[in-house]
Structure 1
Amino acid sequence: MTGVGWFAAIIIGAVAGWLAEQVMKSNMGLLMNIILGIVGALVLNAILMFVVGSTLGGWLGQLVVGFIGACLLIFIARAFRRGT
């Protein structure tokens, strides 16, 4: 995560994952929320760096990126689950 430490990344990931869980109406649990938030932020940061050349920094920026990334991961997981 850009501009934040590991401890902050876990907190931001948990909040972003929880928010995504609420918006996407899924029931994942705390550990999965943290994982979704962190992995979602990493994936979306990589996409933003490739497409735009920069990403959002700081706590709030990473919260937004983590939230959108986690929503994206939940959407993709649901699409694969329905497809099989």
Structure 2
Amino acid sequence: MGLIMSLIIGGVAGWLAGNIMKGNGFGVIGNVIVGIVGALVGSFIFTLLGLHAYGILGSLIMATVGAVILLWVVAMIKK
């Protein structure tokens, strides 16, 4: 059940980050990939700041923040 929940949270986080940064999503697979990588980035950043995310909502917020940062960095590199 943990893997399925991670994929769902990753997909939603990727979709939210895509809407925040670009105005649309990246498709189901793209959203999941962006969300999962964003969760790793978010976890790293939250740990550096001494913050903790609990529960599904906390995981979603952390993954979305990480995905937004990831997409921002990619956009800066592309320029």
How high is the TM-score relative to the length of structure 2?
0.86
TM-aligned CA deviation for residue 45 of structure 1 = 0.7
TM-aligned CA deviation for residue 80 of structure 1 = 0.5
CA distance in 2, matches of 1:49, 1:16: 19
In percent, how many aligned pairs have the same letter?
Answer: 38
Q: CA RMSD in A?
A: 1.7
Matches within 5 A, 1:66-81: 66-81=63-78
How high is the TM-score relative to the length of structure 1?
0.82
- The one of 12, 37, 40 equivalent to 1:39 is 37
TM-aligned CA deviation for residue 33 of structure 1 = 0.8
Q: Which is higher, the Rg of structure 1 or of structure 2?
A: 1
- The one of 24, 28, 31 equivalent to 1:30 is 28
Number of equivalences: 78
Report the structure, 1 or 2, having the larger helix content.
2
> Could you say which residue in structure 2 is the equivalent of 1:56?
53
The residue type equivalent to 1:35 in the other structure is I
Which runs of 5 or more residues in structure 2 are unaligned? none
> What's the secondary structure of 1:55's corresponding residue?
coil
